[in-house]
Amino acid sequence: MKRLAGWLVPLCLLLSGCSQPADDIIRMGLASAPSNLDPRFATDATSARLNRLLYARLVDFDENLLPVPALAEWETLSDRHYRFRLRPDRATFHDGTVLTARDVAATYRYILDPANGSPQRSALQLIDRVEVLDGVTLDFHLARPDPLFPGYLVIGILPEAGILAGQPFHEAPLGSGPFRFDSWPEPGRVRLQRLRDGQIIEFQRIADSTVRILKLLRGEVDLLQNDLSAEMLDYMQQQPGISIGYGTGSNFAYLGFNLQDPVTGDLRVRQAVAHAIDRRAIITHVLGRRRRPPGRRAAAAGPLGR
C-alpha cells in the first residue's frame, strides 16, 4: 500500500483513490496519546484533534480562523442574546438517535455547572443561561457582551440521555462527527472508523521522534504529524517513498515578561529585546524555513507519510 501524508480531513482526499482491503488499517504515530475523549474534559492537543473527528460542534472555523456555522446557524438578537437553529442536514449520533437542541443545552449546562469541574467552564462563564425553544432552536443569554462569542461554541455535542445517565464518554465516545469510536486495542492505542467508507484509522503513541521515523520507514505506521525537528524533516525529504505535506498552522512561540519586575516592567526594555531578536535568522537556521513571522502567511511543518 502506498502511504500518503495528511491529517484526517486531507487524508480522506489523499486515500480516496487507493485500492486496499476493507480491513486494512491505516496507522498514525503520535507523540502523545489522547488524555480524554470526552470533549467536556479534554484539554490536550491530541484529544482535541481526535474529538473534532468524533463529535460535531455548533460552530467551526474557516481557513481564516473566522467562526462559521457547523451544526447550527445563528443570529444575534442583541449583544447578550444569540439564537441558534440546528441545520436540517445535520448528522445523527452514531447510535442513530437524532441530535436536538436539548442535547446542545445539556452539553453546555453540564460544563457551566461548577460542581462538574469541567476545565472548559472558564472560557464559557460569560454564558448566563441556555434556553431551549424547540427541538431545533435554542438561545444563549450572556452575562456580558462579547462579539467573539460564537467562536467559543466549539465543544463537541454529547447526547442528553448519556449525560444524565453518567455515561463514560472518555472510554466509549458517542458523538455525531465524521468518525465513530471503534476500540482501545491497548493503552496508548485507539481506533476510529471513518463513516463514509468504513476505513479504520489507528492512532498509536510513539513518544520518541526517532522511533516514529524508524517505524514510518519500516512501514509499521503510515502517517506522522508535527513534533519533528527540522533536521529530521530534511532527512525524510531525501528518503524514497516518503511524501511530506505542509499547511499553515496556528501554533506560535513568544517570550513572556514579568511586568512587576522593575527591569522587564519597563516598556523600553521589552521593546529593545523585541528589536534584538533576529526572527528571520531563527526561522532560516533553527526552524528550517518552516515557520513564519507574525502577520505573514507561510507554510508550517505538517504531516508526512510513506
pLDDT in tens, 126-181: 999 999 999 999 999 999 999 999 999 999 999 999 999 999 999 999 999 999 99
Q: What is the mean pLDDT of residues 245-250?
A: 72
Spatial separation of the C-alpha atoms in residues 40 and 88, rounded to whole Å: 25
CA distance 252 to 179: 29
pLDDT of residue 236: 87
- pLDDT at 273 exceeding the cut of 50: yes
Q: Taking the complete model, does pTM exceed 0.85, yes or no?
A: no
Work out the mean pLDDT of the chain and round it to a whole number.
86
The CATH architecture that domain 8-53+177-247 belongs to is: 3-Layer(aba) Sandwich (3.40)
- Identify the band that residue 17 occupies on the pLDDT scale cut at 50, 70 and 90: very low
Q: What does the pLDDT average to over 20-35? A: 81
Work out the average pLDDT over 297-302. 42
pLDDT value of residue 65: 84
Is-contact 102 110, C-beta < 8 A?
Answer: no
pLDDT at 134: 97
The per-residue pLDDT for range 76-116, each reduced to its tens digit, is 999 999 999 999 999 999 999 999 999 999 999 999 999 99
Percent of the chain with pLDDT over 70: 85
> What pLDDT sits at residue 290?
66
Query: What pLDDT, on a 0 to 100 scale, did the predictor assign at position 159?
Result: 98
- Nearest C-alpha neighbor of 84 from the set 136, 41, 127, 160: 136
Q: Read out DSSP for 145-212? A: --TTGGGG--PPP--HHHHHHT--TTTS----SSEEEEEEEETTEEEEEETTT--EEEEEE---HHHH
Sorting pLDDT into bands at 50, 70 and 90, what band is 295? low
> Which tops the pLDDT comparison, 107 or 306?
107
- Confidence band for 254, pLDDT divided at 50, 70 and 90: confident
Q: Which residue has the higher pLDDT, 208 or 7?
A: 208
Higher pLDDT among residues 255 and 114, named by residue: 114
| Residue 226 predicted with pLDDT over 50 | yes
> In the chain, pLDDT over 90 holds for what percent of residues?
70
pLDDT at 262 over 60: yes
Q: 59-75: per-residue pLDDT in tens?
A: 999 888 899 999 999 99
Give the whole-angstrom CA distance, residue 93 versus residue 71. Answer: 12
The pLDDT of residue 289? 63
Query: What's the CATH code, domain 57-165?
Result: 3.90.76.10
Break the chain into its structural domains and give their ranges.
8-53+177-247, 57-165
Residue showing cell 438517535? 97
- Say what the pLDDT of residue 64 is: 82
The type of residue at 70 is: A
Question: What's the pLDDT score for residue 26?
Answer: 95
CA-based end-to-end distance of the chain: 9
**Res. 297 pLDDT band, cuts 50 70 90:** very low
Give 283's pLDDT tier (boundaries 50, 70, 90).
confident
